[in-house]
Structure 1
């Protein structure tokens, strides 16, 4: 047996490039930070990286605007990251990507399901799937409605309230706001923060109720998915259950760059 002529089995080599992996880990971490950012030491500790090596990688990312540094020395995600966010937030891509989820939600709830996208202070209907039974609500793809009076808009306001518009600013988009609208918005902001969803009952359409959850697209809260029904099929218990269905269905779809909001305890 000519053992000496048998070629050795090549060992499997990782195709991962360490420097690229490190840069992507940093960008992913930066996308989770609040407006205060983090220092070099805090980032190094969070990612278990050597400070000197991390500093060089951050300098490279800064040169291409993936990372910025403020006057206090804290690092933040840079403007180049918005390219990825814009690509994922394109309405055509969102609609194509999420339409199967809308179909699944409609089949499970037997109610009207909408996908909406935030445009300044209004929500734009991007897509919908209608059930076999009547819903008695008029909706049209491309229609714009004030975010302040919709469950979809309120679900996003619950995520954005701290660093985008004040409640009064949202209300300016409503032609004839109800006297208690500011109070209702604040209630729904709190519901989003504690439970992850928002509701409205006959505040946008007479006889109609709606529940919605915010969607984080490439880390940004810009879209929402909702379930709409006549008030005779609505109760707070059912709205809560449908909110759970929304979150479960989106989460289990495992769509890259699209996640649900995690409420704070």
Structure 2
């Protein structure tokens, strides 16, 4: 059983997460097929509670209250809390940006990011969702999740090209995943962002289930020549986090 007003609030938040510049009342009501009058009252209440912000152009955006709630939600993820010092240490050793992500609804969600002083600009930020087939973290999940789970994910997954090197052929991706499984880590070679090279490894819990992935990302001309050394540190960190969570 769902409560209609609560359901609508959730749909509004879920919609606005994809529109950082905001949407008007009319646009929100139209996209969600809701009556404008009741949508207006919901938006007013959410704004008053700071779950939404209203711009000068009458555009509704996600509000500051959600930052506090999101931060608290991240803190409740045991693996995220346990991983923080290890991610920081990994960043200091490799001097590149370090990420951690979990899987949610067939996408990966970034739950941690540790920048280095020479980090490059990247669209990946904490809380952001990304496709699994074209990111190092996502490919780590596809490689190290149980085979039936991966097969089911791939069967329902669209694979449009994001960059000129994005792998869009399922047979080619499956071949990659087999190689990643054998070598213990996954690679994203400029497949989600041009110029960015990413190495990713799985993190397991006490039950032996993959619960997260961690990665090192940076410009290909910096990361690729140091791949052997970076992978060694990456795998060591992934093992340490897994052991800390009971694996």
Normalising by structure 1, report the TM-score: 0.57
* Alignment partner, residue 213 of structure 1: 201
**Within the alignment, does 1:224 sit opposite 2:213 as a pair?**
yes
CA RMSD of aligned residues (A): 2.6
Q: How many residues align?
A: 170
* Alignment partner, residue 152 of structure 1: 137
**Within the alignment, does 1:204 sit opposite 2:189 as a pair?**
no
Q: Counterparts of 1:227 and 1:100 in 2: how far apart (Å)?
A: 15
- More displaced stretch, 151-160 vs 101-110: 151-160
Stretches of structure 2 lacking an aligned partner (at least 5 in a row)? 1-73
Secondary structure at the residue paired with 2:81? helix
* Alignment partner, residue 17 of structure 1: none
Q: Counterparts of 1:181 and 1:143 in 2: how far apart (Å)?
A: 25
* Alignment partner, residue 173 of structure 2: 185
Could you say if the C-alpha distance between residues 171 and 90 of structure 1 is closer, same or farther in structure 2, counting changes exceeding 3 Å? farther
Q: Counterparts of 1:189 and 1:153 in 2: how far apart (Å)?
A: 11
2:203–2:241 Cα contact (<8 Å) kept: no
1:91–1:126 Cα contact (<8 Å) kept: no
Alignment of 1:114-193 (within 5 A): 114-160=99-145, 162-166=147-151, 169=154, 172-176=157-161, 178=166, 180-193=168-181
Task: State the shift of 1:256 in Å.
Answer: 3.5
Q: Counterparts of 1:233 and 1:179 in 2: how far apart (Å)?
A: 22
Task: State the shift of 1:156 in Å.
Answer: 1.6
Could you say if the C-alpha distance between residues 240 and 170 of structure 1 is closer, same or farther in structure 2, counting changes exceeding 3 Å? farther
Q: Deviations over 1:112-139 (max 9, x none)?
A: 0001001132110001100011312222
Could you say if the C-alpha distance between residues 245 and 181 of structure 1 is closer, same or farther in structure 2, counting changes exceeding 3 Å? farther
Alignment of 1:50-69 (within 5 A): none
Of 84, 90, 104, the residue aligned with 2:89 is 104
